[in-house]
Amino acid sequence: MNQSFEKAERIRACKNRRHVTLVTAYDYPTGRLLDEAGVDIVLVGDSLGMVVLGFPDTTHVTLDHMLHHVEATARGVKNAMLVGDMPIHSYDTVEQAVQSAKKLFLAGADAVKLEGGAAQAGNIRAIVEAGIPVVGHIGLLPQKVLEEGGYKIKGKSSAEEEALVRDVEAVAEAGACAVVVEGVTPHAARQVTVHSSIPTLGIGSGSHTCDGDVVVIHDLVGAFPWFIPAFVKPRADVAGSMTAAVKEWMEDCYTEPGSISS
């Protein structure tokens, strides 16, 4: 068993034993800080499209973008499982999915994550058989935001809830080691977690409903003040501190004595 699968099995073994923490990172220093803080999973998410690259959503992120940021983050992560998101249109076929996953794996990812439930079972199974661990992603799928006309909470009806349960069972059966459950009602998140044989990692799906939690680092530390999700409690004000430090430095530049003599 390679080291990546050892890490994946370590995460899988957390089911019904302890809470799992997943935090995003997109560069070397952030990855290293999260690793040293002891988080279980570091995710190089395609959320970088918004919080790093300035795109309106994740649909503009390419595989080249992901490879660049996975390589950088991997240099700082030694203990956590490093997961690389598979961006939109990088897994439209089984063959493409395996090739994209291999590229992310070679860039330093221990595992890859792709969006979709039962419909992605074939891709998940093929990637795992190729020797690369997979994290699933069900519920609200950001890569479908344009198709669905916005970010819409899932699991509001019994039919949607049953579909989510089928999704998590299919993802687990296909070989995923964990699954992100995004943007579903708290009741649906609990039902998914009860029926899942692998750890469920919640984001925007209520508190204490899943086996673990996911957070975007910029949201957690207040580094992206222009939009803060309602379900996140910032634990710092990095944006405010950065702005204040720059203004203080500028003021010192203007007022400190000294001049350049000719």
- For residues 11-27, one letter each, b for 16 or more C-beta atoms within 10 angstroms of the residue's C-beta and e for the rest, the string is bbebbeeeebbbbbbbb
Q: How many domains does the structure of the chain reveal? A: 1
Residue 96 domain flag: yes
- For residues 30-45, one letter each, b for 16 or more C-beta atoms within 10 angstroms of the residue's C-beta and e for the rest, the string is bbbebbeeebbbbbbb
pLDDT surpassing 80 at residue 210: yes
- Answer yes or no: 148 catalytic: no
pLDDT surpassing 70 at residue 256: no
Out of 9, 148, 182, 248, the active site residue is 182
Residue 46 domain flag: yes
Residue 202 confidence (pLDDT): 98
Residue 131 domain flag: yes
Residue 255 confidence (pLDDT): 78
Residue 139 confidence (pLDDT): 98
Residue 1 confidence (pLDDT): 62
Residue 159 confidence (pLDDT): 98
**Reported confidence tier of residue 261, pLDDT bands at 50, 70, 90:** low
Residue 261 domain flag: no
Residue 217 domain flag: yes
pLDDT tens across 101-148, in order?
999 999 999 999 999 999 999 999 999 999 999 999 999 999 999 999
Residue 4 confidence (pLDDT): 96
Residue 133 confidence (pLDDT): 98
Residue 246 domain flag: no
Burial class (CB in 10 A: 0-12, 13-18, 19+), 234: middle
Q: What is the CATH number of the domain that holds 158?
A: 3.20.20.60
Q: Is 57 annotated as a binding residue?
A: no
Round the average pLDDT of the chain to a whole number and report it.
96
* Cβ proximity of 203 and 215 under 8 Å: yes
Which structural domain range is residue 56 located in? 3-237
Residue 255 domain flag: no
Residue closest to 26 by CA, chosen among 58, 66, 81: 66
87: tokens are 């961006």
Q: Is 85 annotated as a binding residue?
A: yes
pLDDT surpassing 80 at residue 188: yes
Residue 257 domain flag: no
pLDDT tens across 50-102, in order?
999 999 999 999 999 999 999 999 999 999 999 999 999 999 999 999 999 99
